[in-house]
A and B are shown apart, each in its own frame.
Chain A
Amino acid sequence: MNDLVRLTAAELTRLRSRRVSIVAAVVVLAAVALFQVLIHSEVAPTAAAQASARQAYEAAQQTWQAQHTQSVAECVRQGGGTQEECESYDPAPTEADFQVTPPPFDQVGVAGVSTATYLSLFAAFLIGASFIGAEYATGSLANWLTFVPRRLEVFASKGVAVLLASALLGAVAVFATLGLTAAQVAGHGEPLVRAGHVAAAGGRAVVMVALAGVAGYVIALLTRHTVAAIAVPLGYGLVRTVVAGFTSDVDAPLAWLPPYLPELNLQAFLEHGVTYTQYRSTLADGSDYTEIEKHVSFGHSGLYWLTLAVVAVVAGALVFRRRDVT
């Protein structure tokens, strides 16, 4: 265990000295700062901005009241749906739509967590992938193994270093965002609504960022190349676009697939469960359809990511242990 701790410390030293790590961290923190600038006007609107928003809201309200009845009747007459359905297509404008009042903390906080999370996910994946990819590219991994031949210890030390560094990056990004957002909201006298819920979302985000770093590390270890590792999620994105057509219809061959797709499980984990929609055609020509809501639970997504993490780590360890390193 002492050897593993020592090796992990050495890997962390190297990780924090790498240019990619420093640049990724700076970019993420810059994005956090930019987010604060962007939400400032929302969190603390000026009196003039509030007055202008109220004017726009009242004008929209008047227009709606003047045209709503006629619009619904026209919709029903043209076969757009029942009375209730047509009324739902033209909802009344609300103050929130025009930001007459500042958005509640949980709304802007979750938006901040989401922004920080997705940026950090990419940064962590890149850090993890380039960390081991650079060793293959320079040949320094072979040099290291002549000094430390215990392959599993080497694999574990690098993986733990990436996990810790990614978690730290995610924690700093997410909680800096939340902290600064909370400071802005509270500074303008607004309550921190559902702060615990937002903080919990932040905690889940840190877990996902840590896993993203490990994913980058394992994929780059298997492919032996940083760019090849980055190409894996990009390639998945392309395939996903093609496959989408076979998953949206409830009767399609791959309709069972969505609960096993990473993006849906990522959303479910971050948002503590997510609802997605599939469609069933009600007419033979497909011109009409009904929506069927389905749900991916937080528990399902947690088990999904745990299984994926274990499989990836075991596969990576087995491959690294046996593979020739030149």
Chain B
Amino acid sequence: MTTSAAPRHARAPELAVSTTGLRKTYRTRKGRRVAVEGLDLHVPRGGVHGFLGPNGSGKTTTIRMLLGLVRPDSGSMTLFGKPVPAQLPAVVDRVGAIVEQPKFFPAFTARRNLELLAAGIGAPKQRVPEVLAEVGLGERGGDRFRSYSLGMKQRLAIAGTLLKDPELLIFDEPTNGLDPAGIHEIRQTMRGLADAGRTVLVSSHILNEVQQVADTVTIIGRGRLLAEGDVDAILARGGTEAVRVRVPDPAAAAEVLARVGFAPSPGDPGTVLVRSGAPGVPLDSAQVNRALADHGIYLAELVWQRPDLEEVFLSLTAEEHLGAGAPRAAPPAPLAPTAPRRSGGRS
């Protein structure tokens, strides 16, 4: 987890999105249900920021509050340093968003839907065929929205957000209901938008999927912040990487590996889990293989085991699952600006 060393006022311009103490409750028949509780969110400018959490954790509610669709009970929010919703009209042209399923008028064609949006925001009409072509719907623009597949609807929604050529794009569960090809396409689209200099905030309950594209993440559970920071730093919280080796004599293999400086531990029957023996020193699977071979022990299988966001999330929420009375961990320190993980992103 990255820690913040810079003063807060110096960090603010670097944040595309920030919330402080955000809270939202809903009235139900059984009383009030807390959707978001004291959330501090920090989304740095540039790159893809994953906003992760299980279903019902408050992601969509948070996004709706940022966009002025839902009124928070308390707390503050900013977009590009401007308080929202008070100054949302001043920054809305810099923000494009898709909240949950894409929602257009079913009886109108895709082109007509976008033309209405363009007319509403004062965008030139010629942007419509441009953005349709950009998302690969140029030839299907004359078809009614209701005839579109789910993937096409998502692409049309993205086209809508691009009408304004925004700096910040917010995608709420963009891959819901898509097939693997559609998911891959959305991931590529998000990455491409970030590499072009935009900030992409994507919320999802499918942690491993976002891990593939995000540079930084915020993980929430039950409306509360659990962790935030650079993806690699978050993954490091889930433990160190290891290799699992399948050998004829696991005990002998473990003894050999320990002698040469690795940290072996028992795995599944017939296997040994091997970690780096020196903190901070990366594990080299070739050295593991060589060490065992030099002692006449030959591998039947070698598999890398790296921590993923799902494991990190489960470990973070383990206390939550034990009961409501469990002591709450101190909130993590806010994010410091960080360069995107992948090449081509903004610094």
Contacts and interface: CB of A to CB of B under 8 A. Distances in A.
Interface of A: 3, 6-7, 9-10, 13-14, 17-19, 134, 138-140, 142-150, 322, 324-326
Given A143-B102, A145-B68, A146-B67, 16 more contacts: A13-B116, A14-B108, A17-B108, A138-B103, A139-B100, A139-B103, A140-B105, A143-B103, A143-B104, A146-B92, A146-B97, A147-B117, A147-B120, A148-B92, A326-B64, A326-B70
Contacts of B104: 138, 140, 143
Contacts of B64: 142, 324, 326
Contacts of A147: 92, 117, 120-121, 160, 164
Given A146-B67, A146-B69, A326-B69, A138 B105 contact: yes
B116 A19 contact: no
Interface in B96-118: 97, 99-108, 112, 116-117
Nearest to B84: A149
B85 interface: yes
B147 to A, nearest CB: 15
B116 A14 contact: yes
Contact of A149 (B71, B85, B100): B85
A147 B106 CA distance: 19
A223 to B, nearest CB: 18
A9 B69 contact: no
Nearest to B63: A146
Interface residues of B, number: 31
B119 interface: yes
Contacts of B112: 17
Nearest to B24: A324
Given A14-B116, A144-B120, A322 B105 contact: no
Contact of A146 (B99, B107, B116, B119): B99
B69 A324 contact: yes
Nearest to B102: A143
B150 interface: no
A40 to B, nearest CB: 38
Nearest to A157: B120
A140 B103 contact: yes
Contacts of A142: 64, 69, 99, 103
- Cβ-closest 10 pairs across A and B: A139-B103, A10-B119, A324-B70, A143-B103, A10-B120, A149-B68, A149-B88, A140-B103, A146-B97, A325-B69
A144 B121 CA distance: 10
A7 B68 CA distance: 19
Nearest to B113: A140
Contacts of B269: none
B89 interface: yes
Chain B interface, >50% SS class: loop
B89 A150 contact: yes
Contacts of A144: 117, 120
A13 B99 CA distance: 25
A266 to B, nearest CB: 33
Contacts of A146: 67, 69, 92, 95, 97, 99
B31 interface: no
Interface string B146-190: 000000000000001000100000000000000000000000000
B323 interface: no
A326 B100 CA distance: 10
Taking each of A134, A146, A148, A324, which has the highest tally of chain B beta carbons within 10 Å of its own beta carbon? A146
Contacts of B103: 138-140, 142-143
Contacts of B164: 147
Nearest to B68: A149
Contacts of A13: 116, 119
Contacts of B70: 324-326
B122 interface: yes
Nearest to A142: B69
Interface string B41-83: 0000000000000000000000010011111000000000000
A10 B115 CA distance: 9
Nearest to A145: B69
Contact of A14 (B92, B102, B105): B105
21 contacts: A3-B122, A6-B120, A14-B105, A14-B116, A138-B103, A138-B106, A139-B101, A140-B103, A142-B64, A142-B69, A142-B103, A143-B102, A143-B104, A144-B120, A146-B69, A146-B92, A147-B120, A149-B67, A325-B69, A326-B64, A326-B69
A13 B89 CA distance: 23
Q: Which of B100, B101, B103, B112 counts the most chain A CB atoms within 10 A? A: B103
Contact of B116 (A10, A149, A322, A325): A10
A18 B106 CA distance: 11
B172 to A, nearest CB: 11
A193 to B, nearest CB: 47
A324 B117 CA distance: 21
A104 B200 CA distance: 72
